[in-house]
Structure 1
């Protein structure tokens, strides 16, 4: 497997356009059957509208791409069937919460989610709520996902300016470091308290990564590659 490539950029230029996706149209019956099977295993899955990318370009410290709307069922089928259309990618924002004592805070996805058991930074596939004036607002998406998954708001952290775009196969994770003014154990306790107040939280556990020996097999390679680079530069 090819190692992830990390591009550090200062700006994101992600236009949303009305583009038809041949994969979703031509394999509609198969996609519907696949999603129905997944819903039998995880009844909480919802076939909402999401955004996927194409034509990614990294140049002069900038990342540009075009996004289009599709349904979550088509996205899941594309992912689960080994990315049969290589012209598109899954491009999403991630908030890398870093505590005052240098630990990264990661969440373990709950059983009812489509990524159950996986451990990574708060994130989510962009959707129509993330569109502003025809552009995909990844910074806004990160703030929303952090709040939904951890209960933390933009007042709880200071966002760094740059983005670390980790390219891994057909995924591009746009990661922004968010610095918390509290140590790791306190941050974990606060997030766990927030989760305890929810009837059905997206996260089932909170993990602190202080060094590479804390990596677990359920942490995606693109996430551990980013953290390893951060540790190497400190």
Structure 2
């Protein structure tokens, strides 16, 4: 495992990531129920399509010899959203998620700009989503690899190339987040993948992505719209070339 730090995020390279579901009493959510309800009413008035379903958050992870073990617990989306909107006031709970980072045959990295109807409208990051019950397997295992692949397919229409299931991970830790990123190289060029993704978007009634964003160099990094974990990853990836 190698580590570094950028934009307040610690970057760890991992060979193995394992995840499981545990019971957890989120005291902050219990004690701030009224504030959570107020925040949810405000958010729904702005984005009526939002749904208060069950999502998975994390009480933390451990890393040893390039292997990471992370735990998750179930909570409501409204609780997660309030925690995020209030600046992640509970330092013991993390927004943990996984994402495929598409690298193209001609050296570009692809990201998506979230559509206007989504909770993160206008932000630019890798296709991903907060894990939920669909990602829980037998024995309480949480399938982070499957979650990342599913989100990529749903948002872009791109299936993973052969061999992607053995690709290493990069973990970005900071700002109340545990971002498990899996860089995967596609055999097609950026332009070819853009064409495929646009065809997929046109077939969707309400696509999550407004458009795809191509990063070829440092000048393409947008500090105003790319979250810190995205900028930290991109700067590190570009520096590795």
Q: Could you tell me the TM-score, scaled by structure 1's length?
A: 0.95
In 2, Cα distance between equivalents of 1:201 and 1:124: 14
Gaps (5+ residues) in structure 1? none
By how many angstroms is 1:136 displaced? 1.2
By how many angstroms is 1:155 displaced? 4.6
* Range that drifts further, 72-81 or 7-16: 7-16
* Cα deviation 1:59-103 (Å, max 9, x = unaligned): 110111221000000000000111111111111001100110010
Instruction: State the secondary structure of the residue aligned to 2:129.
Output: coil
Pick aligned residue for 1:136 from 135, 138, 142: 142
Equivalent pair of 1:8/1:162 in contact (CA under 8 Å): yes
Look up the match of 1:127: 132
Instruction: State the secondary structure of the residue aligned to 1:93.
Output: strand
Pick aligned residue for 2:158 from 130, 152, 162: 152
Q: How many aligned residue pairs are there?
A: 234
Equivalent pair of 1:158/1:178 in contact (CA under 8 Å): yes
RMSD, aligned CA: 1.6
Look up the match of 1:218: 225
Look up the match of 1:208: 214
Gaps (5+ residues) in structure 2? 1-5
In 2, Cα distance between equivalents of 1:156 and 1:71: 35
Pick aligned residue for 1:161 from 160, 163, 167: 167
By how many angstroms is 1:199 displaced? 0.8
Look up the match of 2:95: 90
In 1, Cα distance between equivalents of 2:44 and 2:54: 16
Instruction: State the secondary structure of the residue aligned to 1:54.
Output: strand
Instruction: State the secondary structure of the residue aligned to 1:113.
Output: coil
In 2, Cα distance between equivalents of 1:139 and 1:12: 9
* Cα deviation 1:190-225 (Å, max 9, x = unaligned): 101110111100000111000011111201121121
In 1, Cα distance between equivalents of 2:80 and 2:130: 9
Q: Does 1:39 align with 2:80?
A: no
* Cα deviation 1:27-46 (Å, max 9, x = unaligned): 22221121111011001111
Q: Could you tell me the TM-score, scaled by structure 2's length?
A: 0.93
Equivalent pair of 2:55/2:75 in contact (CA under 8 Å): yes
